[in-house]
Amino acid sequence: MVRLPRHSHYKAALDENEELARLSLELTSGVTGGKPGKPYVPLVGYDENAVRLDNLLDAINALHETVVRRWSRRGARVGSNRAPRPVTAQERVKHEKAMEKLSNLEQQVLGGR
């Protein structure tokens, strides 16, 4: 399993399985992960070439942002435009848990308003 490429159907199915992600998080609490992106990008077919192309696109966009900020007369801000990445079920579960904690804190502070 370790030697299978990330873009294989088996690895993608494991990464998209939310029940497995919940069990894994319960067993390995405290492991940090990435923040899930908004658009859906499938894991199947997202191979090393796609990763490299996304990184290249991000670098070009960062360079564009820097040039616009430097040479604009009023210091114009250009929003960061990064390529969407696939999100695993484990990352989705972590995000759900974080949002649940935030919602609970919000209810405590605001008193159910």
Q: What is the pTM of this model?
A: 0.53
pLDDT tens readout for residues 2-59: 577 777 888 788 788 888 888 777 776 654 444 444 566 778 888 889 999 999 999 9
Degrees, nearest 5: CA angle 102-38-2 = 95
Integer angstrom CA distances of residue 85 from 1, 29, 38, 94, 109? 22, 23, 9, 16, 34
Alpha-carbon span 84 to 82, nearest angstrom: 6
SS3 state of residue 80: coil
Stretch 46-74: mean pLDDT:
89
Any idea where the domains of the chain sit in the sequence? 9-110
